[in-house]
A = this chain, B = another copy of it.
Amino acid sequence: MKVFIVHAHAEPESFNGTLTRHAKQVLETAGHEVIISDLYAMNFDPVSDRRNFTSQKNPDYFKQQIEEMYATEVNGFAPDIQAEMEKLEWCDLLIMQFPLWWFSLPAILKGWVDRTFALGKIYGGGKWYDNGVFQGKKAMLSLTTGGPENMYTAIGINGNINEILFPIHHGILRFVGFDVLPPFIAWAVAHADEEKRQAYLNAYQDRLLKIAETEPIFYPSLSDYDDRFQLKSK
């Protein structure tokens, strides 16, 4: 299995860092290949605009999707974006490792999506959801939270974690065709002692070694929607 970990944390010695190093070691020991984009270490620029491209379709008006379509035609993506696209094409499993910031991705990781997931190359022309470019590949979020699990239940003060992650799971990963595996979540790690952290590392190892048998999150298929993109009644 070829595994691509996109890692987003400013502090290398953070628990996020420990999780990514652990994943690399566990997966490589099991015979898999692992590459990591450590976005902070790479000084990755998350701002999406003309910097995404070496090509230019319309110099007078910047419409990102027009420029993406054109760059797809003429190989006009900037080298930093081209490199990330090639890692996505290469992998069988994408893991995003991040701390949940403001109930979403840290900006450096959101911008990695904004810039890399380009119209033409990564989606569009009927290629979305289960017909997406990355169909057959798997993706999984591995995240840490500030608050404890009880805050993220259906009746918890922060709301259901599955609803909080829905825009990422469905709107980013499933949108481009990935089978989305249930997330690995290390809760309230700032308050976790060494024993608790070791338990998380063991649990993550179990998850990583069972990727092949893990059932993806269920989403309807394109064929379940009518021509106005509404779910057909059964």
Which A residues fall within an 8 A CB radius of B?
10-11, 13-14, 40, 46-50, 61-65, 101-108, 110-111, 113-114, 117, 129, 146, 150-151, 153, 155-159, 163-164, 166-168, 170-172, 175, 190, 222, 225, 228-231
Contact = CB atoms under 8 A, between A and B. Distances in A.
Contacts of A113: 102
Contact of A62 (B10, B64, B172): B10
A225 to B, nearest CB: 5
Nearest to A170: B159
A155 B106 contact: no
Nearest to A110: B107
A190 B119 CA distance: 14
A14 B60 CA distance: 12
Contacts of A158: 170-171, 229
Contacts of A171: 102-104, 158-159, 164
B110 A104 contact: yes
Of the candidates A47, A175, A222, A230, the one having the most CB atoms from chain B within 10 angstroms of its own CB is A47
Nearest 3 A/B pairs, CB to CB:
A103-B171, A107-B111, A10-B49
Given A102-B171, A107-B48, A114-B101, A166 B155 contact: no
B151 A229 contact: yes
10 contacts: A11-B63, A65-B146, A103-B170, A104-B110, A153-B230, A157-B222, A158-B170, A158-B229, A159-B167, A164-B166
Contacts of A48: 10, 101, 106-108
A101 B40 CA distance: 22
Given A40-B47, A48-B108, A102-B110, 17 more contacts: A46-B107, A48-B101, A65-B190, A101-B114, A102-B114, A103-B167, A103-B168, A103-B171, A103-B172, A104-B167, A104-B171, A105-B110, A108-B111, A155-B231, A157-B222, A158-B170, A159-B166
B10 A64 contact: yes
A129 B157 contact: yes
B49 A47 contact: no
A145 to B, nearest CB: 12
